[in-house]
Structure 1
């Protein structure tokens, strides 16, 4: 807003008035930004804390995560006889968020791989969707040549689902993947990206522009023809505040199946046994079972729950 006011003022008056209005505007903007921070710092110090100290702690925690805490135990090798599952995580998440789901799928006997998708601090996923799709294409093909398997399944959370679909539909990934499962993917975009777009972060994070509701990127993705061999399963929830309800289902002509899991919030898709069980059933082409009550689903995390149908190990 200060910038808008400043540049709008340029069309008025003499050059001296422009300078005056510009300096006045910048001074007001600086005061409106600084005064609340100083007041908050004063209150925090009265309580024996400090906003500056807290900000430094957050920074060092992020730096520690970036440098030391993004590793997942790597598998020695993959079997040429098995089809591995590629896991993809979402916006501003790190590879570490996949740890629970990797373990749950591994216990079911699946071989699981994941990649560090890069981004802020080299860890937190903020890269553009097309460039990430090209990146995972290279990584998957490299693993296929190394271990001899001929196809993969993909399980993707949130923004990772958009990456997966772009890879499958635009980068030829459907040649060696015929089954993708997305969880809480904002196929219609999310208004939350404007929290970044209206800040300087919008200049650096390409992906937030690609997840705007109604943007040309999403429209093009929805209009792309889906290969006949590709099955798309979309796990979604009306408790999800990122991809709300059926906004988490890809809308296009093809073999697309929406799987409601209304007892889950956005990030619970990554750490629930019933989700891992559902993924296993889909991959094995087993039918999903009849629906249980929402109360039963939400209260029995340890039990594999039944769902209604409406229509992992790491690699470097």
Structure 2
């Protein structure tokens, strides 16, 4: 068997093991912190969720090169409609939200933008500064005074820092977060980089975001899942003062491909 084929098989196997392990570690934590101990009895729904998460995980990896083409942003002009900025999560780039972008384009949503935040392991403050720069470019390009933001995972924390610490509240009409660890995640205890450490529960950054500008949380819609395999406890995706919408039986990466989640996004874009 060729070495390349062996590597591909190993990659698929490793991805599946990772997905399974993350799910059951998260669910094990859930049974210890929640009264909902019946979750393991929902075997069919759980099995479907694991498979969906696995294929979503593989798809996101394959979508990584999409940012190179970024064809939807090359000929933007002033037009009606509040712009939408898509912000990716930890270890991803703009390709991660390509499934959401495609759906928005099919629904003829005007002025869709995305950003690939770099460096990968920079602090959330540094990443938020790049978002601020991108927003100002969008404002100049479209002539609109405000934008909508749609985020996944850590991207939600970047958006919240921009809104609360960098004056973004004057530029943002609505911020929709998917699977965002607003109060941190235990998974971040093994995450690399400054941003990884900042996602740990009780970090200085998270405490600062929680204490400052609580009234600005009204701009946020937080979509979260009861079996998120990257945020545990799962309730850490809830944000006080925001509209929190629960999605059942959905893994962390699968948010990006979910018709249920997209429906909520589309309905809440101002």
TM-score, L = length of structure 1: 0.62
1:230-259, CA deviations, whole angstroms, 9 ceiling, x for partnerless residues? 5211000111022243211123xx4x1110
Stretches of structure 2 that go unaligned for 5 or more consecutive residues are 12-60
1:114-160, CA deviations, whole angstroms, 9 ceiling, x for partnerless residues? 012123xxxxx432110111111011102211221111001100000
Q: Would you say 1:282 and 2:268 are equivalent positions?
A: yes
Q: What's the secondary structure of 1:74's corresponding residue?
A: helix
Q: Distance in 2 between matches of 1:98 and 1:78?
A: 22
Structure 1 residues 169 and 66: CA distance shift in structure 2, 3 A: same
Within-5 A mapping of 1:1-316:
54=7, 69-71=66-68, 72-75=70-73, 76-111=75-110, 112-119=112-119, 125-196=120-191, 202=192, 205-227=193-215, 230-244=218-232, 245-251=234-240, 254=241, 256-284=242-270
Q: Is the 8 A contact 1:104 1:273 kept in 2?
A: no
Structure 1 residues 228 and 165: CA distance shift in structure 2, 3 A: closer
Q: Is the 8 A contact 1:232 1:257 kept in 2?
A: yes
Stretches of structure 1 that go unaligned for 5 or more consecutive residues are 1-46, 59-63, 120-124, 197-201, 285-316
Matched positions, count: 215
- Normalized per residue, which structure has more helix? 2
Q: Is the 8 A contact 2:88 2:115 kept in 1?
A: no
TM-score, L = length of structure 2: 0.71
Structure 1 residues 257 and 92: CA distance shift in structure 2, 3 A: same
Structure 1 residues 268 and 179: CA distance shift in structure 2, 3 A: same
Q: Is the 8 A contact 2:169 2:216 kept in 1?
A: no
Structure 1 residues 48 and 152: CA distance shift in structure 2, 3 A: closer
Q: Is the 8 A contact 2:63 2:95 kept in 1?
A: no
TM-superposed CA distance for 1:174, in Å, is 0.7
TM-superposed CA distance for 1:48, in Å, is 7.8
TM-superposed CA distance for 1:164, in Å, is 0.5
Structure 1 residues 48 and 87: CA distance shift in structure 2, 3 A: closer
Q: Distance in 2 between matches of 1:213 and 1:77?
A: 40
Q: What's the secondary structure of 1:142's corresponding residue?
A: helix
Structure 1 residues 229 and 68: CA distance shift in structure 2, 3 A: closer
Q: What's the secondary structure of 2:103's corresponding residue?
A: helix
Q: What's the secondary structure of 1:250's corresponding residue?
A: coil
Structure showing greater relative contact order (alpha-carbon pairs closer than 8 Å, 6 or more residues apart): 2
Q: Distance in 2 between matches of 1:83 and 1:127?
A: 29
User: Over aligned residues, Cα RMSD in angstroms?
Assistant: 2.8
Q: Distance in 1 between matches of 2:65 and 2:180?
A: 28
TM-superposed CA distance for 1:263, in Å, is 2.6
Q: Distance in 1 between matches of 2:222 and 2:206?
A: 16
Q: Distance in 2 between matches of 1:66 and 1:183?
A: 18
